[in-house]
Amino acid sequence: MSINPVAVSDRVSLEVDIACVGFGPAMGGFLTTLARGLLSPDGTPAVESAAMPGLPPQVVCYERADDLGFGVSGVVTRARGIRESFPDLDANQIPLATGVTVEQVVYLLDPIGASRRSPTLRAADAVLRGLGRLLGVRHHALPLPWIPPFLSKHGGLVMSLGQFNQWVASQLMTTGAVQLWPATPVSAPLIEDGRVVGVRLADQGVDKKGHPDAGYMPGMDIRAALTVVGDGPVGAVGQQLDAHFGMPDEHHQRDWAVGMKMVVDLPPDCALQAGTVLHTLGYPEPEIFGFLYVYPDNVASLGIFVPSWFDSPVRTAYRYMQHWMQHPYLWKHLSAASLRSWGAKSLQESGWRGEPYLAGDGYARIGEGSAVPTCSRVRAWTRPGPRARSWVKRCLSC
Ligand SMILES: Cc1cc2nc3c(=O)[nH]c(=O)nc-3n(C[C@H](O)[C@H](O)[C@H](O)COP(=O)(O)OP(=O)(O)OC[C@H]3O[C@@H](n4cnc5c(N)ncnc54)[C@H](O)[C@@H]3O)c2cc1C
C-alpha cells in the first residue's frame, strides 16, 4: 500500500480562547459554570473572543472516548457540587438517577475460608458467629448499626456517571457556548518558555509504534490563552505537566486504587429498592471494600475497590470481584441477575500529597488528577494517620 506521508510542517494550528482536556464530571461542572458566565441573561454572548474577534469566546473540550458519557460507572453522591452547578436540578431528568432511599454498611464474614484474615480478625469473626442471630448476623453478614459520616449519603443521588455526563453534555451543547469533541485524544500539552500555550491532538493514521501509516494525519495544535486539564486520575496530559513543572515540595502521585465494577439487571422480584446504597467491608479480603447501588428499573451497579495499601494480592481484581459478589449476602440478590457490562477504573489515592500545582502560566488542573478521590477518604478512615483528621474534615465537607 502506498503511503503519502504528510510532513510535520503540515501540522495545522488553530487558535481558541480556552482549550480543555477530558470530559469527566469535573470538566462538565467547570464548563457549565463557565458557559453561564459567558452568556448574557438573554442567551447572547456576553464577551467577544480574543482568538477570533467578532465571534463568541471559543471554548473547546477534547475527550478521547468515542462518547461523552462512557464507562461502567455507578456512583452515589451527596450531590452538593452538582446542585451548585445546577441549582434547579430535577434528578428525574437524568436517566438512571434517583434519590438515596436505603443506606447500609455491612461487615461480611468469610463464608468459605478464602480470605487472609489476621488472627485477631479471625477471633472477632468467631465471636460474631458465636453470638450470631443475637447480633443480627444473617447470610454470613452483619449490617452495622451506624453509618460512618463519610459514607452517609442521605439526601444524595445514586446515578450512572456515564448517563450523567451525557446529560451534562446535552445541557452544555444547547447553550452553544462550548464545543465538545469526543473521540479526539490530546497527546500533549504545548509548552513554550515555561508557559502552557495549548495542546496537541493525537496523530491519526499511525501504526502501533506511532509511525505514519495509511491515512496519516498529524494532530492539530490547538493554541489557547488558557488550557484546562481534567483528564482524570492517570491522565497522560496531567502527568506530562507534572513531569515538566515538577510537583510542589514533598508532593507525589504514586498511589492508585483499582475499582472493578459491573452493571447488572436485577431479577424482577429482587427485594432491593431503587435508591438502595450498600457498602461492604471484610470480604473477599479485609482491605477490600464493596459497593452496590440500585438505580430505577431494577438496574444495579456494583463492584469493589482494591486499595493501594493492599499488600501482595494473590488474585486478580476481577477474581476478587467474583468472590465478593458470590458472598451469600449479595448472591441472594445477584444469582438471577444478568450482566450488562463490566470494566475497571483507577482512583488517585495519593491524597493531599498527590496535589500537583493546580494552576500555572496558561493552565489550570481540575478534577481527580488535581487532588483527593473517594478511596483516599476511605483510607483516612481505616488507617488513621497524622493527616487523617484533615482528610476526614475535607471529605465531610464534600
Ligand atoms: C469503582 C469506582 C467507584 C466510584 N464510586 C464513586 C461514588 O460512589 N461517588 C463518587 O463521588 N465518586 C466515585 N468514584 C470516583 C469518580 O468516578 C471520580 O472521582 C470522577 O470520575 C473523577 O472525575 P474527573 O472528571 O476528574 O475524571 P474522570 O471521570 O476520570 O474523567 C476524565 C476524562 O478525561 C478523559 N481523558 C483522559 N485523558 C485524555 C486525553 N489525553 N485526551 C482527551 N481526553 C482524555 C477520559 O477519557 C475521561 O473521560 C468512583 C470511582 C471508581 C473507580
- Residue-range domains of the chain with CATH: 8-96+161-245 (3.50.50.60), 107-152+257-347 (3.30.9.90)
Residue 43: what pLDDT? Answer: 83
E runs forming strands in 110-234 = 141-143, 157-160, 179-181, 186-192, 195-201, 204-206, 212-217, 221-229
Residue 314: what pLDDT? Answer: 87
- Residue of the CA atom closest to atom 6 of ligand 1: 75
69 lines ligand 1 (CB under 6 A): no
Q: What are phi and psi of 241, to 5 degrees?
A: -65, -45
Q: Which of 61, 73, 103, 372 to mutate to test the pocket of ligand 1 (most atoms within 8 A of CB)?
A: 73
Report the nearest atom of ligand 1 relative to the CA of 28.
25
63 lines ligand 1 (CB under 6 A): yes
Q: Which helix (H) or strand (E) is 104 found in, with range?
A: strand 102-108
pTM confidence score: 0.89
Residue 8: what pLDDT? Answer: 55
Cα 231 to middle of ligand 1, angstroms:
8
Cα 232 to middle of ligand 1, angstroms:
5
373 lines ligand 1 (CB under 6 A): yes
The one-letter amino acid code at 139 reads H
Residue 264: what pLDDT? Answer: 96
219 lines ligand 1 (CB under 6 A): no
Can you tell me the distance from the alpha carbon of 49 to that of 53, in angstroms, rounded to the nearest whole number? Answer: 5
235 lines ligand 1 (CB under 6 A): yes
Our measurement of the distance from residue 36's CA atom to the centroid of its chain's CA atoms, rounded to an integer in Å, reads: 24
The size of the chain, in residues, is: 398
302 lines ligand 1 (CB under 6 A): no
Cα 262 to middle of ligand 1, angstroms:
16
232 lines ligand 1 (CB under 6 A): yes
Nearest to 31 by CA among 164, 161, 173, 196: 173
User: pLDDT (tens digit, 0 to 9) for every residue of the chain, 398 residues total?
Assistant: 444 444 555 899 999 999 999 999 999 999 999 999 999 988 889 999 999 999 999 999 999 999 998 777 789 999 998 999 999 999 999 999 999 999 999 999 999 998 999 999 999 999 999 998 788 899 999 999 999 998 999 999 999 999 999 999 999 999 999 999 999 999 999 999 999 999 999 999 999 888 999 999 999 999 999 999 999 999 999 999 999 999 999 998 888 899 999 999 999 999 999 999 999 999 999 999 999 999 999 999 999 999 988 888 889 999 999 999 999 999 999 999 999 999 999 999 888 889 999 999 999 999 999 875 543 333 333 333 333 333 333 333 33
DSSP state, 70?
A: -
Helix (H/G/I), strand (E/B), else coil: 189: strand
Q: Which helix (H) or strand (E) is 34 found in, with range?
A: helix 25-38
Residue 372: what pLDDT? Answer: 52
- CB-CB contact of 197 with 191 (8 Å): yes
Residue 122: what pLDDT? Answer: 94
Cα 71 to middle of ligand 1, angstroms:
9
290 lines ligand 1 (CB under 6 A): no
Can you tell me the distance from the alpha carbon of 266 to that of 163, in angstroms, rounded to the nearest whole number? Answer: 19
- CB-CB contact of 191 with 204 (8 Å): no
Q: How many CB atoms lie within 10 A of CB 338?
A: 9
